[in-house]
Chain A
Amino acid sequence: MRKDFAPAIPEKLAVRTFGFSSGIWRWVGALALIALAAALPFAISNYHVFELTLAMIYAIAVLGLNILAGYNGQISLGHGGFFAAGAYTAAILMHRYGVPYWATVPPAGLICFGLGVLFGLPALRFEGPYLALVTLAMAVATPQLLKYFDSWTGGQQGINLPKVQPPPGLGIDRDRWFYLVVLVVLLVAMRVAANLLNGRTGRAFVAVRDHPIAAAAMGINAARYKTLAFGTSTLFTGVAGALSAIVISFVAPESFTLFLSLSFLVGSAVGGIATIGGAIVGGLFIEFVPNFASDISDAAPWAIYGLAMLLFMYAMPRGVVGSLGPWLARLTPEDQLAAPKE
């Protein structure tokens, strides 16, 4: 069975992708990008701000999937379910217990971490397509379970949530305020992921993915790391889910179908599954390509979306960052040593 869906990526590459590493030009570049991203919402319309916010939220979710599927090799078709868990945790906290929006995110993340560990334990038994099935079952079950436990979830109707209030006196409206909030969360998430993945834990993840037997021989507890990868991954995706509930101000079962899980997987693949920066590409892809698709064709927009997937995979089978990353790495002399041997 082919296992080469995620080539081994040297540590530095993950960190390098968005400039969190040594080298003055890296810092300058990174800061410039961040400043650009922060200024952007003030130059565009409210609706576009909303779309970009969603794209960043999806990027966080895809980053979660990258940790599990890319770095640790456990392909999940069910991350939509964890996204939903995060969203509904935030929703229930806000709706039932009046918790302010910003305070719902950490509990959502923690609960999803717990769920991920809980799920990751039995998932240890399964590999490859079998794991795919188990996670697929979760994705399929999610909307049904959400409708079933309607006393908590509001059933089919969903839950309406109060809109975000920007802090008074700052003089910016709620869309732009929340955009900046999400931007900060995204940057923090990427930093945390980079630290994790470039340290011992990340190396253990990759070792368990590529050479589980050799890893065990070196004393790496595969079960522990696989479960940890699961929990960490779902933590990220759960946080993203919570943010999505807040920004949309509404949750309903129909938003969390199998299609969402498949979209995350597609986002991972398009960006580059064993990368950090690729998550951003993935988030942008998931959010914007369907919209472009309906602009191109009113009658069969999803066909265009599907076609876009095909074209991206033909052109860059390792994802945008996965394919361009090594090439970019070869350009800078300091990074020659770390470039992957293809």
Chain B
Amino acid sequence: MTLILELRRVKAFYGQSEVLQGIDIAVADGGISVLLGANGAGKTTTLRAICGMVRSEGEILFTGQPLERRTTEAIARMGVAHVPEGRGTFTGLTVEENLRLGGYTRADRPLASMDRMYSYFPILADRRRQQAGSLSGGEQQMLAIARALMMGPRLLLLDEPSFGLAPRIVENIFTIIEQIRREESVSVLLVEQNASLALELADQAYLIETGSVVMSGSPKTLADDPQIRRSYLGY
């Protein structure tokens, strides 16, 4: 099993404070890894470190290539699509323009890709000329994911896609994510606070607490752990 993404002893810094204290994470090619943890644990920082948005040390390998000293836009062009927390949609632009921007790096046939996005997320087709800022939370999340997929990435980084959304919408989105992973042969690194849903989806899980990985393994291992059950799964 090849690893499409590997983080080795990665540290990350905001100014002088060390927010990630040497973590090891991996995503299998074609697989889904999930990062669990409470607020402020360092999950978002991990994704930002991968994309070069924050100062970091250690090794970050994507398809065997080091990402450490590259710029964010170069990393994006290499095939890493990051859906940030808060979605990061261009609220002043239309849905269609958002998707077009996703296709910016792909000179080849962005229109064909857009049709495929509309088939995954039919609601976006209805709203294609609407301003992205006027969409509901769930719709904006779908738009953000669609925009990331327009890049034709090999790795999808998702930062808390369930945030602020009603449970039914979250289930819907997670179903689509699983569908996408199969049909688009995209690997996924998912950061989530909603542990139970995330564990159902993943094939590898990590628990982060205050900047360190405190537990890792298959989802079943984590789900069976009594402490995790109490703290993160609520039973």
- What residues of chain A have their CB less than 8 Å away from a CB belonging to chain B? 341-342
- Among residues of A, the one whose C-beta sits closest to the C-beta of B17 is A341
Which chain B residues numbered 15 to 50 have a C-beta less than 8 Å away from chain A?
15-16
User: What distance in Å separates the Cβ of A175 from its nearest Cβ neighbour in chain B?
Assistant: 49
Q: Chain A binding site: helix, strand, loop or mixed by DSSP? A: loop
**A341 contact set on B, CB distance < 8 A:** 15-16
| B158 smallest CB distance to A (angstroms) | 29
Name the residue of chain A whose CB is nearest to the CB of B15.
A342
Which residues of the other chain, A, contact B15 by a CB distance below 8 angstroms?
Answer: 341-342
What is the total of A-B residue contacts with beta carbons within 8 Å? 4
B135–chain A nearest beta-carbon distance, Å: 25
Q: List 4 A-B contacts (CB under 8 A).
A: A341-B15, A341-B16, A342-B15, A342-B16
| Prevailing SS type, chain B contact patch | loop
Q: How far is the CB of B17 from chain A (nearest CB, A)?
A: 9
Interface residues of B, CB < 8 Å — how many? 2
Interface flags for B1-21 (1: CB within 8 Å of A; 0: not) read 000000000000001100000
A341–B15 Cα distance when bound, in Å, is: 9
- The answer for the CA separation of A341 and B16 in the assembled complex, in Å, is 9
Instruction: Give every chain A residue within 8 A of B16 (Cβ-Cβ).
Output: 341-342
A326 to B60, CA, bound (A): 34
The residues in B between 82 and 104 inclusive whose CB is less than 8 angstroms from any CB of A are: none
- A220 and B15 CA atoms in complex are apart in Å by 31
Q: Name A342's closest neighbour in chain B (CB-CB).
A: B15
**Cβ-closest 4 pairs across A and B:** A342-B15, A342-B16, A341-B15, A341-B16
What distance in Å separates the Cβ of A206 from its nearest Cβ neighbour in chain B? 21
CA distance A97 to B16 in the complex (A): 62
CA distance A342 to B16 in the complex (A): 8
* B residues near A342, Cβ cutoff 8 Å: 15-16
Alpha-carbon distance between A342 and B13 when the two chains are bound, in angstroms: 13
* CA–CA, A342 and B15, complex, Å: 7
B95 CB → nearest A CB, Å: 27
Complexed CA–CA distance, A143 and B15 (Å): 47
Query: Chain B's nearest CB lies how many Å from the CB of A27?
Result: 32
Q: How far is the CA of A1 from the CA of B15 in the complex (A)?
A: 21
1/0 per residue, CB under 8 A from A, across B121-145: the answer is 0000000000000000000000000
A234 to B49, CA, bound (A): 48
- Measured CB to CB, the closest approach of chain B to A329, in angstroms, equals 15
- In Å, the complex CA distance between A342 and B17 comes to 10
Nearest chain B CB to A254 CB, angstrom units: 46
Question: Nearest Cβ in chain A — how far from B132, in angstroms?
Answer: 21
Rounded to whole Å, the gap between the CB of A266 and the closest CB of chain B is 29
Interface string of B193-235 (1 = CB under 8 A from A): 0000000000000000000000000000000000000000000
A341 to B14, CA, bound (A): 12
Instruction: Tell me how far the C-beta of B54 lies from the nearest C-beta in chain A, rounded to whole angstroms.
Output: 16
Q: How far does the alpha carbon of A158 sit from the alpha carbon of B192 in the complex, in Å?
A: 72
A150 to chain B, nearest CB (A): 52
Bound-complex Cα distance A92 to B38 (A): 69
In Å, the complex CA distance between A112 and B16 comes to 44
A45 CB → nearest B CB, Å: 49
- Kindly state the separation between the CA atoms of A163 and B234 in the bound complex, as whole angstroms: 85
Q: How far is the CB of A287 from chain B (nearest CB, A)?
A: 37
- Kindly supply a per-residue 1/0 record for chain B positions 70-87, scoring 1 wherever the CB is within 8 Å of any chain A CB and 0 otherwise: 000000000000000000
Measured CB to CB, the closest approach of chain A to B234, in angstroms, equals 34
For the complex formed, measure the closest distance between the CB of B14 and the CB atoms of chain A, giving whole angstroms: 11
